[in-house]
């Protein structure tokens, strides 16, 4: 674990800087709830916060004293920057900018180019394929590459070594100076009471219904495997995403409607009370960490794997929240569920306490100390270079878009020629 990053003498400290946090749509998810937690932490520490985002339901949970700027697209950031510039003239001497994914990294560069008072920018990576998601357009991958290649003073941090390794394998030359800053979670009081039953277990999962959380599609088979071992299972899912209809179809087609419940998003403010009412959590990411912090034993599914896990929270290296570990053993999720169900009350309590203990270093204090030190290590930004980068990235996107339109026109033209030839031949016939 990285305990600290050297602080440069004479660098800007947090006491003279506001923080600007930029992200896209604030709907329930791991990064979005992380932003809410960090905003609250900054406010508690007397640091003024500006949140730039594209709206979303989680804003109802945002502290009202936060300066909120909702933007529609990258061009709309010109309006946002003018508002922040007006404030900076009168109040703030400098800003620190924090972005949280690929799109907000690029939009963050735009803000840097437009707001002279932004002195430093760092960006987090919270997924192994953050800059090359399967459902992203290739143009977006190219924009990320150019943005990362010419990022100058912007530093990138990764939530764990698995994410760093994955992105470094894709872009070998881009992340040599990047650091690891593990996810922070909110601490919760311990309230877990294990079930005394050894033949039934009540499971909960909270998170997006998306392809890399593949366990969403294997619940029926996992339940069948548990039943073969004498364990009955009920499994409740809270979330949203493109797999929801497929999950419902599978539950009906396998006759598991009474055992599998697929519900909408769980309100973040209700997370602790709801999750604490279950015997076991199966999932990944910050939701699994927060469940563990409550004392609810958590089995971490493997990214993109339907049936296997590396184990409970305490079985994973610090920072890992479900990423695949090539040199670690794996277990079928059903085997671990059955193992847990057959434990005594005291043994279940011991697993619960071990899961909770494994989360103690995922603190907001630790996260902020590392973030602050990383900001301190950045030289003051070169505004000319930032504006140049903004122009380069925008030009690349415009050129690629123009190329796409030209290709589309050529295809359309060829199609028209083919259709006219067919029409001509039919008329001759």
Q: Give the pLDDT confidence of 116-153 residue by residue, as tens digits.
A: 889 899 999 999 888 887 666 677 777 788 778 776 66
Question: Is 14-184+367-402's fold the same as 200-362's?
Answer: yes
The reported pLDDT for the residue numbered 149 is 79
The reported pLDDT for the residue numbered 174 is 86
Count other C-beta atoms under 10 Å from residue 368's C-beta.
18
Question: Which pLDDT tens digit goes with each residue over 378-406?
Answer: 855 455 555 555 555 555 555 556 556 66
The reported pLDDT for the residue numbered 12 is 38
Least confident piece of the model among 17-21, 138-142, 261-265: 138-142
- Is the separation of the CB atoms in 256 and 224 below 8 Å? no
DSSP code per residue over 328-377: S--EEHHHHHHHHHTS-HHHHHHHHHHHHHTTTT--HHHHHHHHHHHHHT
The reported pLDDT for the residue numbered 413 is 61
Using DSSP's 3-state secondary structure scheme, residue 14 falls into helix
Give the CA radius of gyration of the chain. Answer: 24
Residue 43 backbone class (left: φ over 0; alpha: ψ -120 to 50; beta: rest) = alpha
- What does the block give as tokens for 393? 């990235």
Does the pLDDT value for residue 216 go beyond 90? yes
Least confident piece of the model among 3-7, 59-63, 178-182, 279-283: 3-7
The mean pLDDT of 29-46, rounded to a whole number, is: 95
Q: Is the pTM of this model over 0.85?
A: no
Report the C-alpha gap between 76 and 95 in whole angstroms. 20
The reported pLDDT for the residue numbered 153 is 66
Question: CA torsion, points 414, 418, 421, 427, in degrees to nearest 10?
Answer: -140
Does the pLDDT value for residue 170 go beyond 80? yes
Band (1; pLDDT cuts 50, 70, 90) = very low
Least confident piece of the model among 237-241, 318-322, 424-428: 424-428
Range 133-138 contact pairs with CB under 8 angstroms and sequence separation of 24 or more: 134/211, 136/102
- Judging by beta carbons within 10 Å of its beta carbon (0-12, 13-18, 19+), is residue 357 exposed, middle or buried? middle
Superfamily of domain 200-362: Glycogen Phosphorylase B; (3.40.50.2000)
Average predicted confidence (pLDDT) for the chain: 86
Question: Which pLDDT tens digit goes with each residue over 53-111?
Answer: 999 999 999 999 999 999 998 889 999 999 999 877 666 568 999 999 999 998 998 89
The mean pLDDT of 291-308, rounded to a whole number, is: 96
Residue that wins the pLDDT comparison between 347 and 419: 347
Identify any residues that bridge with 18 across adjacent strands, giving them in sequence order: 95
Report the C-alpha gap between 190 and 340 in whole angstroms. 19
The reported pLDDT for the residue numbered 8 is 34
Domain ranges for the chain? 14-184+367-402, 200-362
The mean pLDDT of 202-228, rounded to a whole number, is: 96
Residue linked to tokens 């878009």:
401
Side-chain-side CA neighbours of 14 within 13 Å: the count stands at 18
- What does the block give as tokens for 98? 């924090």
Report the C-alpha gap between 33 and 310 in whole angstroms. 25
Does the pLDDT value for residue 13 go beyond 50? no
Does the pLDDT value for residue 45 go beyond 60? yes
- Is the separation of the CB atoms in 217 and 307 below 8 Å? no
- Which architecture characterizes domain 14-184+367-402 according to CATH? 3-Layer(aba) Sandwich (3.40)
The reported pLDDT for the residue numbered 181 is 96
Question: Which pLDDT tens digit goes with each residue over 348-372?
Answer: 999 999 999 999 999 999 999 999 9
Express as a percent the part of the chain with pLDDT over 70: 81
Does the pLDDT value for residue 49 go beyond 80? yes
Count other C-beta atoms under 10 Å from residue 257's C-beta.
12
């Amino acid at each position: 674990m990285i305990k600290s990053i050297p602080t440069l003498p004479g660098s800007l400290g947090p006491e003279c800087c506001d923080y600007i946090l930029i992200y896209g749509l604030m709907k329930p998810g791991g990064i979005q709830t992380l932003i809410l937690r960090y905003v609250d932490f900054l406010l508690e520490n007397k640091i003024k916060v500006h949140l730039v985002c594209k709206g979303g339901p989680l804003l109802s949970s945002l502290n009202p004293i936060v300066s909120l700027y909702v933007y529609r697209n990258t061009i709309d950031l010109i309006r946002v920057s003018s508002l922040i510039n007006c404030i900076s003239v009168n109040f703030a001497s400098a800003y620190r900018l924090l972005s949280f994914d690929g799109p907000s990294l690029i939009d963050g560069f735009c803000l840097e180019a437009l707001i002279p008072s932004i002195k430093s920018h760092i960006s987090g990576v919270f997924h192994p394929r953050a800059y090359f998601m399967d459902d992203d357009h290739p143009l977006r991958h190219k924009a990320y590459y150019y943005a990362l290649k010419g990022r100058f003073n912007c530093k990138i941090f990764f939530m764990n070594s698995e994410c760093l390794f994955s992105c470094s394998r894709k872009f070998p030359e881009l992340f040599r100076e990047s650091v690891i800053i593990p996810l922070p979670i909110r601490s919760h009081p311990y309230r877990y009471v294990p079930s005394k039953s050894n033949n039934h277990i009540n499971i909960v999962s909270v998170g997006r219904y998306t392809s890399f959380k593949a366990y969403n599609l294997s619940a029926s088979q996992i339940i069948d495997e548990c039943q073969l071992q004498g364990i009955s299972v009920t499994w409740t899912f809270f979330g949203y995403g493109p797999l929801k209809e497929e999950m419902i179809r599978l539950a009906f087609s396998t006759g598991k409607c009474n055992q599998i419940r697929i519900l909408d998003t769980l309100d973040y403010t209700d997370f602790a009370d709801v999750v604490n009412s279950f015997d076991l959590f199966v999932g990944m990411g910050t939701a699994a960490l927060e469940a563990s912090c409550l004392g609810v034993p958590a089995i971490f599914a493997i990214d993109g794997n339907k049936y296997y896990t590396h184990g409970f929270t305490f079985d994973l290296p610090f920072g890992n929240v479900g990423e695949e570990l090539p040199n670690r053993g794996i277990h079928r999720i059903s085997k671990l569920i059955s193992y847990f169900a057959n434990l005594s009350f005291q043994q279940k309590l011991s697993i619960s306490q071990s899961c909770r203990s494994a989360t103690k270093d995922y603190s907001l204090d630790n996260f902020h100390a590392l973030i602050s030190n990383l900001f301190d290590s950045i030289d003051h930004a070169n505004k000319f270079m930032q504006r140049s980068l903004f122009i380069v990235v925008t030009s690349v996107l415009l050129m690629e878009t123009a190329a796409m339109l030209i290709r589309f026109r050529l295809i359309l033209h060829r199609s028209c020629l083919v259709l006219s030839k067919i029409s001509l031949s039919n008329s001759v016939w």
